[in-house]
Amino acid sequence: MTISRTMACLLAVAAASAVLLTSCNGKASKKETAAPQKETVRNPHTGNPMFIHISAPASLTDNAARTEYILSHYWDKVSLRDSLWINSYKEMDMAIVRFLSLARANPDQKVSEKAIRDMVNLMQTEATPKVYDMMSGILDKYLYGPNSELRNDRYYTIILDEQLKNPNLSPAQKATAREKLHTITKSRQ
């Protein structure tokens, strides 16, 4: 083995070891061996989180495939664990409007519905309680508001169904979700 190849191997081993070992006791940490954490991109002026838009790969030339990719990966670069999203309401509002507009314009509604379900599940597993409440309020405003151009009972039903499955919601929040679901179901008939 040449010296340069040996050095390259040693560097690779050292890098892998640094990831697996904690500084305290040399034992592998679940947190460090798990999937990489999402990075929060910050506005250089305010320090608040910013939404990073996803682009479809150039290899996807079909519009349906591009839209499906974007919907599926729309939230990939957003860390909802960052409580400073509360200070970025407008940014999150615009991100949700873009997401809902894209879902609505997508000809394959099954893909759109899955993307909405995935977004709610991401909110439930990743978001801090305040970020979750903020996003739920924005979704409520656009999908349930009587004067909203984005009002969509089907999408909102998906969100309410997922909320009712959420073990972290209070009984009062679940009661509100049930009431809205009942109202939507009643108005459909």
Domain ranges of the chain: 1-34, 38-188
CA 83 to chain CA mean position, Å: 14
In terms of Cα–Cα distance, which of 175, 119, 126, 125 is closest to 143?
A: 119
Report pLDDT for 186.
Answer: 82
Contact yes or no for 51/91 (Cβ under 8 A): yes
Contact yes or no for 86/132 (Cβ under 8 A): no
Counting every residue written for the chain, the total comes to 189
**Max alpha carbon distance in the chain (Å)?**
76
* Token pair of 116 as six digits: 């909405």
* Token pair of 82 as six digits: 């960052």
Report pLDDT for 41.
Answer: 65
> Can you list the positions of beta strands (E) in 23-79?
none
Report pLDDT for 23.
Answer: 33
Report pLDDT for 39.
Answer: 59
Rounded CA-CA distance 24/1 in Å is: 34
Report pLDDT for 47.
Answer: 64
Report pLDDT for 85.
Answer: 83
In sequence order, what DSSP letters do the residues of 96-126 get, joined into one string? Answer: HHHHHHHHHH-S-HHHHHHHHHHHHHHHHHH
How do the pLDDT tens digits run along the chain, 189 residues long?
A: 444 443 344 334 333 333 322 333 344 333 333 444 555 666 656 666 667 778 889 999 899 999 999 999 999 888 888 778 888 899 899 999 999 999 999 999 999 999 999 999 999 999 999 999 999 999 999 999 999 999 999 999 999 999 999 988 899 999 999 999 999 988 765
33-57: b (≥16 Cβ within 10 Å) or e: eeeeebebeeeeeeebbbbeeeebe
Report pLDDT for 50.
Answer: 66
